[in-house]
Amino acid sequence: MSGRLWGTSAPAKVILLGEHAVVYGQPAASVAIDLRMRCRIRSASISSLNGMPLTAHNYSYVSACLAKHNACPTAVITDSDFPSGSGLGSSAAVTVALLAALARSKGNWDEETVAREAFEVENEVQGRASPIDTSTCTHGHGILIASERSDRLLWEMSCDTRRWCVHDLKVPKMTLVIGFTGRSAPTGPLVAKVKRYVDHSTFAREVIEDIGQMTLEGVKQMAKGDLESLGRTMTRDHKLLAILGVSSPELDKLVSATLPHSYGAKLTGAGGGGSMIALTDRPEKVMEIIRSKGGKPHTAVTDVPGVKNE
Ligand code: MEV
């Protein structure tokens, strides 16, 4: 690595449909957005993140990436446009950007290897994961996870009995407004909460399957550019996620308040706090409402690139 700095960046993501259910092998759709995580690395006498030494108890994603590459002591410097725990994939973005920077310092990187290693890191640190966040931050643009291969297949991943075919998703022109509740919520405990429910309840397992069905419907509506139907599907998905116990009063408040001015709205990502999205043709109005309800709005630009060198 020598004393040289190696820089990369990776985008944030929003899940349009299918979060949580995708952990069980169900389909899901997501897009990368115009908020980025930048990462620089250089060799150092001890490993650190933004000047704080790494220990066995902190910054587990960063430590796991360094361990995966058998990296010599490394100073990691990050700079992000979006907060961690915001439901926008900050742990996936830092993992993807760091793995690409480590590979770059040794030669070069390719998307599939970065996506695969990033999924392994996230699965290990989070306890249980799907490849949706890490594949979206790696590839950018849009991602569709399905159980069968199609001609837009990027790569396949598997873990225990679960298997995911990760595809490039063609995303129509549409406006998404993100509302950050201001409350950070780490993904691992929410995934574990859903697992406890699913392990003990046939009803919860049926909800997971219903989310998967709904995602397939939403993807067809997206392909037709039928935003009205897609919005309704997103709102129905939010209701099922609330039944699984991953919404929060703040998320429900922002979703309800934005619905009269949107095609549809839902939480995005793990939930429990974090962010919601509204699909709308009135972004200014929706941003104003999110602000008035105490949230932080951002109108997302989509069709952005994935991980890249900086
Ligand atoms: C988090 O952004 C998405 C979840 O489905 C977890 C995962 O897929 O790893 C909740």
Same domain membership, residue 112 and residue 181 = no
Residue 86 lies in a domain: yes
d(CA 187, ligand 1 centre) in Å? 7
Same domain, 160 and 45: yes
The answer to whether residue 1 sits within a structural domain is no
Cα–Cα dist 144/164, whole Å: 10
pLDDT (0 to 100) of residue 209: 98
Q: What is the pLDDT of residue 35?
A: 97
Q: What CATH number did the domain enclosing 127 receive?
A: 3.30.230.10
**Average pLDDT over all residues of the chain:** 96
Q: How far is the CA of 33 from the centre of ligand 1 (A)?
A: 17
Range of the domain at 217: 176-300
| 152-207 pLDDT tens trace | 999 999 999 999 999 999 999 999 999 999 999 999 999 999 999 999 999 999 99
- Which of 105, 136, 170 terminates a domain? The answer is 170
Q: Which of 145, 170, 195 is the last residue of a domain?
A: 170
Provide the sign of the torsion angle of the four alpha carbons 113, 118, 119, 120, taken in this order. positive
Same domain, 10 and 158: yes
Mark which of 170, 205, 240 sits at the end of a domain: 170
The Cα 5–Cα 76 span in angstroms is 10
Number of structural domains in the chain: 2
Average pLDDT for residues 49-62, to the nearest whole number?
A: 93
- Residue-level pLDDT at 290: 98
Residues 18 and 92 occupy one common structural domain: yes
C-alpha of residue 4 to centroid of ligand 1, in Å: 35
pLDDT tens track for 101-151: 999 999 999 999 999 999 999 999 999 999 999 999 999 999 999 999 999
At 223, is the secondary structure helix, strand, or coil? helix
Mutate to test the pocket of ligand 1, among 13, 14, 16, 23 (most ligand atoms within 8 A of CB): 23
- Considering the domain boundaries, does residue 306 fall inside one? no
Q: Could you say which DSSP state residue 224 is in?
A: T
What percent of the chain stands above pLDDT 70?
99
Domain membership flag for residue 17: yes
Q: Could you give the angle at the alpha carbon of 57 between the alpha carbons of 55 and 61, nearest 5°?
A: 85
pLDDT of residue 57: 83
Domain match, 72 and 182 both: no
pLDDT reported for residue 2: 65
Q: What is the pLDDT of residue 78?
A: 97
State the closest ligand 1 atom to the C-alpha of 246, by its place in the atom list counted from 1.
Answer: 10
Ligand 1-lining residues (CB < 6 angstroms): 15, 19-20, 22-23, 89, 129-130, 132-133, 187, 191, 269-270
Q: Residue 180's closest CA among 81, 251, 111, 108?
A: 251
DSSP 233-301: HHHHHHHHHHHTT---HHHHHHHHHHGGGSSEEEEETT-SSSEEEEE-S-HHHHHHHHHHTT-EEEEEP
Together in a domain, 107 and 35: yes
- Please name which of 43, 39, 42 lies closest in space to residue 59, comparing C-alpha atoms: 39
**133 membership: H or E segment, kind and range:** helix 132-139
Q: Is residue 305 part of a domain?
A: no
Same domain for 186 and 160: no
- Mutate which of 26, 91, 132, 266 to test ligand 1's pocket (most atoms within 8 Å of Cβ)? 132
Mean pLDDT, to the nearest integer, of 34-41? 98
Instruction: State which ligand 1 atom lies nearest to the alpha carbon of 128.
Output: 9
Burial class (CB in 10 A: 0-12, 13-18, 19+), 42: middle
166: β partners: 145, 155
Rounded Cα distance between 283 and 256, Å, is 16
Q: What is the mean pLDDT of residues 285-307?
A: 97
Residues 103 and 234 in one domain: no
At 3, is the pLDDT very low, low, confident or very high (cuts 50, 70, 90)?
Answer: confident
Q: Whose CA is nearest to atom 2 of ligand 1?
A: 269
Residue 34 lies in a domain: yes
User: How many angstroms separate the Cα of 109 from the Cα of each of 3, 138, 139, 183?
Assistant: 20, 11, 13, 35
Query: In angstroms, rounded to a whole number, what is the distance separating the alpha carbons of residues 72 and 92?
Result: 22
Asked whether residue 308 is domain-assigned, the answer is no
Residue 1 scores a pLDDT above 80: no
